Amino acid sequence: MIVNRIENIDEDLLGRVVSTEEEAYNLYNNYATRVGFSVRRGQKRYNTKKVSKLETRTGCEASIRFAFQDEDDTWKVSHFVPEHNHELAKPEERQFLRSNRKVSDSNLGVIKTMVGAGIRTTNTYSYLAEEVGGSQNVGFTKRDCYNVVNKEKMAMIEAGDAQSLMNLFKRKQAEDPMFFYTVQVDQENRMTNFFWRDGRSRIDYDCFGDVVVFDTTYRTNRYNMICAPFVGVNHHWKNVLFGCACLLDEKTDSFIWLFETFLESMGGQKPKTIFTDQCQAMANGIQNIFPGVCHRLCSWHISQNAARNLGSHYGKCLQGYCETELEFQSIWDDLLTKFNLTGNPWLMTLYNLRAKWCPVFSRHIFTARIKSSQRSESTNNVFHQMSTKTMSLTQFVHHYDKQAEKMRSSELEESFRCNQGLPSRIAKSSGILNHAATVYTRKIFKLFEKEFVDSLAVMMHEVGSDGTIHSFELNEEGHNRVYLVQLNSFNRTISCSCKMFESMGLLCSHALRVLNVKCWSQIPEQYILKRWTKDAKKELEANEHGELLQVNGKSSVTLRRNALMRTTYDVLSKAAETEATTRIAMEKLREMEELIEKEMITSKGEVNKKTSDNVVDCNASGCTFDETPVLNPPCVRPKGISNARLKSAMEKRRKRTSKDTVSSRKTKQSSKIGRPYSSAHTPLSSNFLNPVSVPMSTNISNHVYPTMRLLPTEGHANLPQPNLSFTSMLQSTNFMALLNKMQESFTLGNRYLF
């Protein structure tokens, strides 16, 4: 069968002349597109006897041949066969012709930019199609778009994912001398854990590292490694990144390694408070590496599972309604007595951890008024949204950098707004408010202004004075709680029993009430916490290279080293080109070393040896892998994944119905022969007071619950801590059922108003 050329295409290419080989290909390819078939390049023949093979799929003889003209360096059509023996593509199908599909350089740039920004490939293709009026006008298919994206990904990790990540870290360290990274490998040289942070994160930690939020919620890469960012709060009340790690497991050894590495990268400077979720391995690591640091648990994780089952009493203990430890103890005892929970194992464990979740035990420690690890979880969730389970480690680090850049851009914009003028104020004639608007950032000023407004509803009377120290008792209208404020007019100090300044860094409404009555027009200087002010980073400014340097003479060793390495990096790179220049550089470096040592001895500058904020050298940073390449991490199997065949909905429904039938029969038989109920059906009774009689699910973290006997005189504070994860125990189906029954029975009975 011979298929003639399509109607209205009467074009004889024989004898046509073009200038280049590429023009020759385009000439025939454009013709093929109009007709409705694809083309491929044949072999070039330069006066040889080889013959090109025929197309074997259909035996179609349609072809074109060009001959090179030596006299004018052109290409001339010497052979042209227009007839085909197969059906040609319809006009609406020609967009799918292989030789007519190509991802242009301009489209490739758009694809790389959008995918790099975290936009899915399918959405990128939809955008390109929308721009040109439909997918038929894009010039390539969605599959071509996926292929070019995968090609770029494979080029990124050509040396292997782990080794490509190492190479990326080395490039970053060359560009940013303050960049820090550490990689941990196993005996087979496979990557297991790694941590990194850039120079800007170190600067941010110096300014805002008093509170750190650490979370390990998400696994966001193809190896199912745990994403563990270190997050803080800056002077605009926004999240700031201090660094990030990827861990293969959540064991104590991994956390000890990570916290040691983090502390080393930050020059040994410990935070005042660190927030985490409830994890015993994590707690062990913090206890070993951060002794003396206030470790707070995420209140959200605890309250999610307990507040709805234990009523308002638990909320009072957890949400900070108690102001003293005695008050907490009273509320807690009332909780145990009223709900008949004395000896409950979960509550005993929770009580032993009370200092980590109840704010009353840490009011004197700065926590920036953070109550949970959700700040870190929100940041981690951003990484989760931007990444996929098939993402490589190198890609994930790129996504992290983009998110960090976005957060820093937001901070820069907020700083710009703060410097453009003062925020609106409720009382523009108030000296204290005007002073606060001048020094604080916009967000912090709004928090301060709220306390100022609340102070108007505070009743005050002076209870004592010796001429210098004045004592006041204050209470908010409609509340009976009394706060004690002491003002020293000589040294201009003020303190309140609510401890808001100690925990938050802002004066409370009670202190502001006293200052207003005493006609103070400004906030005492010692009560303006620098981390909340517009000048939190004033000591840092950018030099001509964009580096962050301190303007005073007390710049850190790391920052001075940064400036020196920036200056000498290019010179040393040139010196390494030849042996002669290398010798010259080595001689001059030795001379410089001798001069520096003499200067240090002369000026007694031994302080330079105290490199507490050193950037760890290449060996300590995990970059001694030039000889042996680092292998990819082992893939961690997610929980719940099975090799079994996926069952259809019909099979699952049939199996569930069968189980219900068998369970019903067993229940009837056991009731007939007088057997006791199973643990899942134990009725609520006085046995609930005995923790041994509380049935637990068999899949609670594989813990063994030890037998405990309670004496009538024992208090809950002296009970041994059970070997059981209280989070897992609370989530037990049996235990939750008992709590729900207990609450229902209490609600339907006598009501108790606290």
* pLDDT tens figures, 567-614: 776 787 788 888 999 999 899 988 988 888 888 877 764 444 443 343
Residue 394 domain-assigned?
no
Q: Which structural domain range is residue 152 located in? A: 101-156
Do residues 195 and 256 make contact, with C-beta atoms less than 8 angstroms apart?
no
Residue 289: count of CB within 10 angstroms of its CB:
18
Residue 291 domain-assigned?
no
Select from 532, 547, 577 the last residue of a domain. Answer: 532
Select from 111, 136, 156 the last residue of a domain. Answer: 156
For residues 504 and 563, state if they share a domain: no
Q: Binning pLDDT at 50, 70 and 90, where does residue 221 land?
A: low
For residues 51 and 129, state if they share a domain: no
For residues 511 and 568, state if they share a domain: no
**Mean of pLDDT over the chain:** 75
For position 3, what pLDDT does the model report?
A: 47
What is the average pLDDT across 692-706?
36
Going through 266-407 in order, the beta strands assigned E by DSSP cover 273-276, 294-297
Residue 571's H or E segment, with its range, is: helix 557-575
Residue 652 domain-assigned?
no
The whole-angstrom separation of Cα 705 and Cα 691 is 10
Which single residue is written with the structure tokens 């959405």? Answer: 123
Residue 353 domain-assigned?
yes
Coil, strand, or helix at residue 29? helix
Residue 751 domain-assigned?
yes
For residues 512 and 431, state if they share a domain: yes
The whole-angstrom separation of Cα 298 and Cα 306 is 13
- Which phi and psi (to 5°) does residue 383 adopt? -60, -40
Q: How far is CA 314 from CA 30, 308, 345, in A?
A: 76, 9, 16
Indicate the Cα dihedral angle 331, 333, 335, 339, nearest 10°.
-160
Residues, the chain, total? Answer: 754
Provide CB contacts within 8 A for 534, sequence distance 6+: 235, 415, 418, 419, 439, 440, 441
For residues 723 and 680, state if they share a domain: yes
Provide CB contacts within 8 A for 60, sequence distance 6+: 84, 85, 86
For residues 126 and 77, state if they share a domain: no
For residues 561 and 478, state if they share a domain: no
Q: 420-429 — which CB contacts under 8 Å span 24+ positions?
A: 425/449, 426/452, 426/453
For residues 440 and 495, state if they share a domain: yes
Select from 48, 69, 98 the last residue of a domain. Answer: 98
Residue 631 domain-assigned?
no
Coil, strand, or helix at residue 451? helix
Whether the predicted pLDDT of 671 surpasses 70: no
For position 245, what pLDDT does the model report?
A: 94
What is the average pLDDT across 527-546?
76
Whether the predicted pLDDT of 626 surpasses 90: no
For strands 63-69 and 74-81, give the pairing: antiparallel
Residue 745 domain-assigned?
yes
Coil, strand, or helix at residue 602? helix
For position 753, what pLDDT does the model report?
A: 31
For residues 524 and 428, state if they share a domain: yes
For residues 488 and 462, state if they share a domain: yes
For residues 435 and 507, state if they share a domain: yes
pLDDT tens sequence across 266-280: 999 999 999 998 889
Residue 600 tokens read as 């240090």
Coil, strand, or helix at residue 310? helix
For position 527, what pLDDT does the model report?
A: 96
Burial readout 176-197 (b: 16 or more C-beta within 10 A, e: otherwise): bbbbbbbbbbeeeeebbbbbbb
Number of structural domains found in the chain: 5
Residue 106 domain-assigned?
yes
For residues 85 and 140, state if they share a domain: no
- Which phi and psi (to 5°) does residue 346 adopt? -65, -45
Residue 460: count of CB within 10 angstroms of its CB:
17
Whether the predicted pLDDT of 28 surpasses 90: no
Whether the predicted pLDDT of 90 surpasses 90: no
Provide CB contacts within 8 A for 390, sequence distance 6+: 222
